[in-house]
Homo-oligomer: A and B are copies of this chain.
């Protein structure tokens, strides 16, 4: 049995996901996703992707098609622990939109790996520019 992971470590894994996104680093993105656990990815408006290769292809497509300004600033709201599954609820602030996302991680070979991402637009976001980017 593993012991409970510090929420700061979970938040660090979550930040690594947005760093991979913002730098368009597909190798880093691939390394972040779990290899031995079931995975799911639900991009806004898309059908759910339930296959690891399909998920990585979707990120490749998103990286190719996005503009240079398509950077995400992540505001972490909550780190949650359910057994061996660790989740982050956060706002994704980008040019012209704010999304709400959930990212879930499990440990594989001692490292937190993504098993789930779902994002959807928030139609009534708070003023994130004046909010602290901390766990509440």
Contact = CB atoms under 8 A, between A and B. Distances in A.
Interface string A104-121: 101000000001101111
B81 A122 contact: no
Please classify how large the interface on chain A is, using the bins under 10, 10 to 19, 20 to 34, 35 or more: 35 or more
A102 to B, nearest CB: 6
A50 B76 CA distance: 12
Nearest to A37: B82
Interface of A: 37-38, 40, 42, 44-48, 50, 77-78, 80-85, 87, 89, 100, 102, 104, 106, 115-116, 118-126
B82 A122 contact: no
A126 B85 CA distance: 30
A83 B80 contact: no
How many copies of this protein are present in the complex?
Answer: 2
Nearest to A80: B38
B38 A81 contact: yes
Contacts of A83: 82-85, 106
A100 B82 CA distance: 22
Given A42-B89, A118-B120, A47 B125 contact: yes
23 contacts: A37-B82, A38-B78, A40-B80, A40-B89, A40-B102, A42-B120, A44-B120, A45-B120, A45-B121, A45-B122, A45-B123, A45-B124, A46-B100, A48-B78, A48-B89, A82-B85, A83-B83, A83-B84, A85-B85, A87-B116, A102-B116, A120-B120, A120-B121
